């Protein structure tokens, strides 16, 4: 047996990148979540070749100070948590400090940012700075021009990582994954404007507005028109959003959006509760459409289960389960279709 040795940071990053950045859509998710965490109101997204050639995000968030720019690409470097207590109540989408490091280790990346000091009356730095990294090898920051916020470009994701590259699907499939990812984030942030381009062609432009407007643009007018507004609370739990009308059953789960504290999740407890609530009102091999938001005490939900954070673990999953069924059944009972058959649990 060879002697034990510590892996280089670069190798550690590449290995971890396989977990965090499974495909272009997951890299894009890291970028967009950072922009949202930075308080952006306007996000411009440009993709080429399904994101494999280029992922570009232009935001108007708070930016990154020059001194922090290189750190941003470092593993376990984050401005979002500093202690175990913070971890227990994490309110931002990111917190592990590994998103950018992972993406940077498997691509050529350029990060340009102009810092706005929001704690100091919005004082802006004199100009922007840019760092570039080539598969984790970083160059020193250089002065750059940018009016506001952060622009990040990720080129050739996985092109030099053959073991990963071969798992990428066609550009069209990778784009579809990116688009689905963008939709989730756009539904959770209707007050933020999103523009999406792919291969130089405009795909979407969603102006800032409310949930109904955003859901109409993404899930469909019909969904919003026939949907049932939900707003139910119990203790520190609140469920709000739009429950699709039982008459609007879908053949797939594509129109099922569920968010916990603003984060899209796919969770067994949630799925089971929603299926139960719809069971008596929906044709049995149809899937409900919904766009629902559960707000709860961050300490009651562990979002630290997996790096990509689509899974969560509820501390009191039984209570959540009952709350979801009760709230949703109540809302569905308001529709005429539901009223006849719904029995309250």
Give contact residues for ligand ADP (rule: CB under 6 A). 30, 34-35, 38, 59, 61-64, 72, 77-80, 94-101, 150
Q: Which is nearer to ligand ADP, 148 or 291 (CB)?
A: 148
In whole angstroms, the minimum distance from the beta carbon of 151 to ligand ADP comes to 9
Nearer to ligand ADP by C-beta: 11 or 172?
11
Smallest gap from residue 307 Cβ to ligand ADP (A): 10
Q: Tell me the three state secondary structure of residue 121.
A: coil
Q: Which is nearer to Mg ion, 57 or 168 (CB)?
A: 57
Shortest separation between residue 4's beta carbon and Mg ion, angstroms: 32
Say if CB 179 and CB 186 are below 8 A apart.
no
Q: Binding partner of residue 26 among Mg ion, ligand ADP, none, CB under 5 to 8 Å per kind?
A: none
Whether 260 and 254 have beta carbons less than 8 Å apart is answered as no
Q: What is the DSSP secondary-structure string of 230-278? A: EEEEETTEEEEEEEPPGGG-BSSSTTEEEEETTEE---HHHHHHHHHHH
For Mg ion, the closer CB: 30 or 156: 30
Q: How far is CA 160 from the centre of its chain?
A: 26
Q: Which is nearer to Mg ion, 94 or 149 (CB)?
A: 94
Minimum separation from the CB atom of position 76 to ligand ADP (A)? 9
Distance CA 231, CA 242 (A): 9
Q: Report what 16 binds from Mg ion, ligand ADP, none; CB cut-off 5-8 Å by kind.
A: none
Nearest residue (CB) to ligand ADP, 97 versus 209 = 97
Out of ligand ADP, Mg ion, none, what residue 128 binds, judged by CB under 5 to 8 A for its kind, is none
Q: Which does 300 bind (CB under 5 to 8 A by kind): Mg ion, ligand ADP, none?
A: none
With CB under 5 to 8 Å by kind, the binding choice for 95 among ligand ADP, Mg ion, none is ligand ADP
Interface residues with Mg ion (CB under 5 A) are: 34, 94, 99
Q: Which residue is nearest to ligand ADP (CB)?
A: 94
Residues 112 and 150 sit within 8 Å (Cβ to Cβ): yes
Chosen from Mg ion, ligand ADP, none, partner binding at 80 (C-beta under 5 to 8 Å by type): ligand ADP
**Which is closer to ligand ADP, CB of 77 or CB of 319?**
77
Q: At 110, which helix (H) or strand (E)? A: strand 108-114
Can you tell me the distance from the alpha carbon of 117 to that of 139, in angstroms, rounded to the nearest whole number?
25
- SS3 state at 133: strand
Measured distance CA(291)–CA(28) in Å, rounded:
22
Residues paired with residue 193 on neighbouring β-strands, in sequence order: 42
| CA–CA distance, 293 with 248 (Å, rounded to integer) | 20
SS3 readout for 62-127? CCCCHHHHHHHCCCCCCCCCCCHHHHHCCCCCCCCCCHHHHHHHCCEEEEEEECEEHHHCCEECCC
61: partner contacted, choices ligand ADP, Mg ion, none (Cβ within 5-8 A by kind): ligand ADP
- Rounded to the nearest 10°, the torsion over CA 157, 161, 164, 166 is 100
Minimum distance between the CB of residue 23 and Mg ion, rounded to whole angstroms? 17
Shorter beta-carbon distance to ligand ADP: residue 33 or 183 = 33
What, of ligand ADP, Mg ion, none, does residue 38 touch, CB below 5 to 8 Å by kind?
A: ligand ADP
């Amino acid at each position: 047996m060879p002697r034990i040795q510590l892996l280089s940071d670069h190798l550690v990053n590449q290995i971890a990148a396989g977990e965090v950045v499974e495909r272009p859509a997951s890299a894009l998710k890291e970028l967009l979540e950072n922009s949202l965490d930075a308080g952006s109101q306007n996000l411009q997204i440009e993709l080429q070749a399904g994101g494999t050639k280029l992922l570009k995000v232009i935001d108007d968030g708070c930016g990154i100070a020059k001194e922090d720019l290189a750190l941003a690409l470092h593993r376990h470097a984050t401005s979002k948590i500093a202690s175990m207590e913070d971890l227990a109540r994490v309110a931002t989408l990111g917190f592990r400090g590994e998103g950018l490091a992972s993406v940077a280790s498997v691509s050529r990346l350029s990060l340009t940012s102009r810092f706005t000091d929001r704690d100091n009356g919005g004082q802006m730095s004199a100009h922007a700075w840019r760092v570039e990294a080539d598969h984790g090898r970083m160059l020193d920051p250089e002065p750059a021009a940018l009016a506001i916020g952060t622009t990040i470009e990720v080129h050739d994701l996985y092109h030099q990582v053959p073991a990963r590259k071969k798992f990428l699907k066609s550009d069209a499939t990778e784009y579809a994954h990116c688009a689905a990812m963008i939709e989730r984030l756009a539904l959770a942030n209707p007050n933020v404007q999103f523009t999406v381009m792919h291969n130089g062609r405009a795909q979407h432009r969603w102006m800032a507005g409310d949930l109904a407007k955003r859901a109409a643009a993404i899930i469909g007018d019909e969904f919003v028109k026939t949907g049932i507004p939900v707003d139910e609370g119990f203790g520190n739990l609140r469920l709000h959003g739009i429950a699709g009308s039982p008459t609007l059953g879908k053949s797939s789960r594509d129109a099922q959006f569920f968010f916990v504290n603003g984060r899209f999740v796919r969770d067994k407890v949630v799925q089971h509760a929603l299926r139960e609530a719809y069971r008596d009102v929906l044709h049995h091999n149809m899937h409900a459409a919904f766009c629902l938001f559960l707000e709860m005490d961050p300490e009651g939900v562990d979002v630290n289960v997996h790096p990509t954070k689509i899974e969560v673990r509820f501390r009191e999953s039984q209570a959540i389960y009952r709350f979801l069924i009760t709230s949703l059944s109540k809302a569905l009972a308001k529709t005429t279709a539901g009223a006849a058959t719904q029995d309250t649990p």
